[in-house]
Structure 1
Amino acid sequence: MAAQLSDPPERGEPAGPKEDRHFVTSLARGLDVLACFKRNEDALANSEIAARCGLARSTVSRLTYTLTKLGYLHHVPHSGAYRLGTALLALGATALAGLDVRQIARPGMQDLADFARASVGLGVRDRLSMRYIECCRGEVAIALNIDTGSRISMARSAMGRAYLAACDAAERQGIMDDFRSVDEVAWPDLRDGIEQALEEYRMTGCVRSFGDWQPTVSAIAVAFRPGGGLPPMTINCGAPTVILDPAFLLEDVRPRLIRLAASLEGVMGP
């Protein structure tokens, strides 16, 4: 049985620095339109897209028209709504196929999932979130409802906090500034949780999120640099707390997770 979890995209994510003359706002808006579609949604109307992206209906109409002409959206005549087009699906498949690290990591991830009787995921940064690019599951009565393509919070998840621990200081500061600009009220708690995670990473080689991302979920994560010009990636291991003891994660799973991440360090070359 899958635990029904949901983690919508972070609202108000900065599209890009307005003062940057190299930043193409129209391109960013078009990508925002594509990114606003959620898993298991058949189609969205222009009004729904406009509400999610914070754009005027007239702007969205031009964007959806253009994206449809290019094949990235498909217009549904009887409803007037739009769904993701085949050109976008092909683009995503090509991108995933290029990440050979997924194939390299999968056997070790499955072994760890079987040992922990939990879910093990491989993730990359997606703006202020983390995106799963691979997921393996052990034999459990209750599994997390997460699969390849799922998006989770960077600030509250173990996967995201591990990324923050591994990225360079300049990138980390930029992300932290964006977190603060998105939600000033939530920022103090987010900052405290992240700073604690960074210290934990220095001390133990991994980070935890016990009830921070979802109240009923415990997870730990480790980051690694695959090389080949790719940014840091993270591997997590987690499950509903009712079936996975946090102490077992830290004492038994953590050393194996650290070894798995170390084995993937630099696998894509310099």
Structure 2
Amino acid sequence: MASDQSNNQSVERAISVLRAFLTGRPELRVSDVAKATGLGTSTASRLLATLESLEFVERDPISGLYRLGTAPITLGGVALNQDPVHRESRQIAQDLAAGLGLGANVAVRRGDSMFYLLNFEGRQAPRSYVLTGQRKPLHATGIGKCLLLALDPAGRRALIPEPRGFTPYTITDHDRLEEELAEAARRGYATEVEELALSRACVAAPIRDASGAIVAALSISGPLSVIDLPAREEELSRAVIEAADSISIGLGYVGPMSLAPEPVARSRR
């Protein structure tokens, strides 16, 4: 038992070292890793050396700084290739981005946030970074609103007891959010205009599996001036619904079913 606990602790420490690189800084000193993880400098240095030998991190020979290596990329690629939603949506999302010149994104819910499985940039919505693997709030995104439709109102309130504001346009009131979600459910798509980031907007639609449950969502996103919802909402909503439906069919969905929304456990961590 003591050996198992020691091994578990070693794994947890190694994972904490890797997570230190999620802070946004591309390269870290040993002391940075030690501070971020709460480990001693010697322990952090030893773990980094081990992770370097396994290609999970790389050390710049000139600066001595560490960055993530190629092994996490390999694992991430394998995980994505094994994910059924990613497999069914990749080509459809890529074609959508190319056809509209906008961003096309697919995400699933993980706890109280949405998790990007993939994104493609269109010529009118370029990005200098990859969204895949990032997490964003459910209530402030079009995809997130679609994912919230899988829950009942009580479940949504339990999941997000205090919706956080990100811009002056973020919906932080539960009653207003419920009105927005009811409208999204009625028309089959959700919109988001500058609720997470200024000058950005999106249109999103839910993706369902063979049981009819909402398991993911697809969005078209880009600069507010290009999305231009007053002029393009009908066009973009039709495109995103058709693409989401195609993915759903690939997952085995055959048509509307009367399903109760998924409940959420009331206990909080």
- Same fold (TM > 0.5): yes
Q: How many residues in Structure 1 have an aligned counterpart in Structure 2?
A: 239
Query: Does structure 1 residue 56 correspond to structure 2 residue 56?
Result: no
Distance 1:149 1:217 in 2: 18
Distance 1:116 1:205 in 2: 20
Counterpart position of 1:264: 247
Q: Give the direction of change, closer, same or farther, for the CA distance of 1:209–1:68 in structure 2 (3 Å limit).
A: same
What's the Cα RMSD here? 4.0
Q: Give the direction of change, closer, same or farther, for the CA distance of 1:86–1:213 in structure 2 (3 Å limit).
A: same
Structure 2 alignment gaps of length 5 or more? 1-7, 254-269
Structure ranking higher on relative contact order (CA contacts 8 Å, 6+ apart): 1
1:88 to partner: Cα distance: 1.8
SS of equivalent residue, structure 1 residue 121: strand
Give the counterpart letter for 2:137 in structure 1.
M
Distance 1:235 1:39 in 2: 27
1:32 to partner: Cα distance: 4.8
Q: Give the direction of change, closer, same or farther, for the CA distance of 1:44–1:148 in structure 2 (3 Å limit).
A: same
Which segment is superposed worse, 168-177 or 211-220?
A: 168-177
SS of equivalent residue, structure 1 residue 209: strand
Q: TM-score of the superposition, structure 2-length normalised?
A: 0.68
Structure 1 alignment gaps of length 5 or more? 1-23
Q: Among 178, 181, 184, which residue is 1:201 paired with?
A: 184
Counterpart position of 2:103: 119
Q: TM-score of the superposition, structure 1-length normalised?
A: 0.67
SS of equivalent residue, structure 1 residue 147: coil
Query: Does structure 1 residue 161 correspond to structure 2 residue 145?
Result: yes
Q: Among 222, 228, 235, which residue is 2:205 paired with?
A: 222
1:176 to partner: Cα distance: 1.7
Matched-pair contact (CA < 8 Å) for 2:104–2:120: yes
Counterpart position of 1:8: none
Matched-pair contact (CA < 8 Å) for 1:144–1:240: no
Counterpart position of 1:251: 234
Aligned positions of 1:1-270 closer than 5 A:
30-37=14-21, 42-49=26-33, 53=36, 55-58=37-40, 61=44, 64=48, 67-68=51-52, 70-76=54-60, 78-125=62-109, 128-140=112-124, 142-145=125-128, 147=130, 149=132, 151-155=134-138, 156-166=140-150, 172=156, 175-177=159-161, 190-192=172-174, 194-226=177-209, 232-265=215-248, 267-268=250-251
Distance 2:20 2:152 in 1: 28
1:210 to partner: Cα distance: 0.1
Matched-pair contact (CA < 8 Å) for 1:224–1:232: yes
Give the counterpart letter for 1:124 in structure 2.
V
Give the counterpart letter for 1:213 in structure 2.
L
Matched-pair contact (CA < 8 Å) for 2:193–2:201: yes
